[in-house]
Amino acid sequence: GAGVSQSPSNKVTEKGKDVELRCDPISGHTALYWYRQSLGQGLEFLIYFQGNSAPDKSGLPSDRFSAERTGGSVSTLTIQRTQQEDSAVYLCASSLVGGLRYNEQFFGPGTRLTVL
């Protein structure tokens, strides 16, 4: 499809294990965002990639969280030594940055992470 895709859709892991979440943005979109959504809460910004610029990591909650974006396209969010409080839906969004009116984000369906 032409939308943002994320995998896996669901991930159950044990406390202390590492997990990798993948995001495939819309082709041609240069900006990519990761958010975390806890149950009944709004979206919490995690990290932002724009082209070849250094990512804005100011939203990452701890050094256990990291993200990469390879070739300006696919992105991977890695959570090391997962904790139960990491359980949430992780959403990825991409946008075409070319002027203010093109900064609209398109979201993927999310990855639901459950840490036991």
Binding site for other proteins (CB under 8 A): 4, 31, 33, 35, 40-45, 48, 50, 56, 58-59, 91, 93, 100-101, 103-110
Query: Cα(89)–Cα(20) distance, rounded to whole angstroms?
Result: 13
Residue with smaller CB distance to other proteins, 16 or 62? 62
Smallest distance, other proteins to C-beta of residue 91, A: 5
Residue with smaller CB distance to other proteins, 1 or 40? 40
Residue with smaller CB distance to other proteins, 10 or 83? 10
Smallest distance, other proteins to C-beta of residue 26, A: 12
Paired strand residues for 19: 79
Q: Cis omega before residue 25 (within 30°)?
A: no
- Which residue has tokens 């969010």? 77
Is the CB of residue 21 less than 8 Å from the CB of residue 77?
Answer: yes
Query: Cβ of 70: how many Cβ atoms within 10 Å?
Result: 8
* DSSP letter assigned to residue 23: E
Smallest distance, other proteins to C-beta of residue 48, A: 6
Residue with smaller CB distance to other proteins, 18 or 41? 41
